[in-house]
Amino acid sequence: MVFLMSEFERKIGYVFKDRSFLRTATYQELNRTLAFFGDSALDFVVAEYLFKKYPDMDQGGLTRLKALVVSDERFNEIARRNDLEMHLILKKGASSSARKRNATFLEAVVGAIYLDGGMKQMREFVYRMIILPQDIDSYLGNLVKEKVRLNEFCQQNYDGFTPKSVVIHSEGVPHDMVFVMSYTLSKETTNLDHDITGIGTGSSKASAEENAAKEINEQLRQLCLME
């Protein structure tokens, strides 16, 4: 067991001073509370990184990007990629999926490192094993534009309906135009008791359209209709 633990520490690049934290993280029967703590600490570090790395990205984009970085699917992939799951000691009769077990395990390791070595050591571990630039670059390409999200949502939920944008107003000279555009989902389409309208402004029709779609998507999320 000592060899396995030492091998595990080599893989994660951190040696524990208090090995009780290591034991708690690696025993499935013990690590859920530690994973809860690690998940919160991890959210902060990832949010901090993304906020600094992409200062021009809006809240919705940052939120979706963070969700991709800290997803159970990705944590499961990281655990398997680094051959960490062999060090998780399963409780008798464990029935949870391997994906969920590995995600909880990695979150518990983050919490254990924080408690044992502090924020600096935990942040270094996260940057070394979880915040991987090549992965994040690929996720950026997968962030769906708001207009596409709106169209897909409507097509899936409203019998193939595709909303049309409308130019409300435009002004300015050709090289310095401002457009105001809107999308409207009528109550007849959604079966709600009111229309839903999103209005967006931009220096091009495309950017105004995107901002209008973003606004209407936010309303759909608030109504718990869109994830």
Cα–Cα distance, 151 to 153 (Å, whole number)? 5
Active-site residue (options: 7, 29, 39, 159): 39
Sequence-ordered alpha helix ranges (H) in 54-118? 59-69, 72-81, 98-117
Contact present, 199 and 219 (Cβ < 8 Å): no
Contact present, 47 and 62 (Cβ < 8 Å): yes
Q: Which residues pair with 89 in a beta bridge?
A: 27
39 is catalytic: yes
Per-residue burial over 118-137, b if 16 or more Cβ lie within 10 Å, else e, is eeeebbebbeebbbeeeebe
3-state SS class at 206: helix
Cα–Cα distance, 202 to 124 (Å, whole number)? 40
Active-site residue (options: 18, 58, 72, 107): 107
Residues 6 or more apart in contact with residue 58 via CB below 8 angstroms:
214
Give just the sign of the alpha carbon dihedral 124, 140, 56, 213.
negative
Report residue 13 CA to chain centroid gap.
Answer: 25
The residues that are catalytic are 39, 107
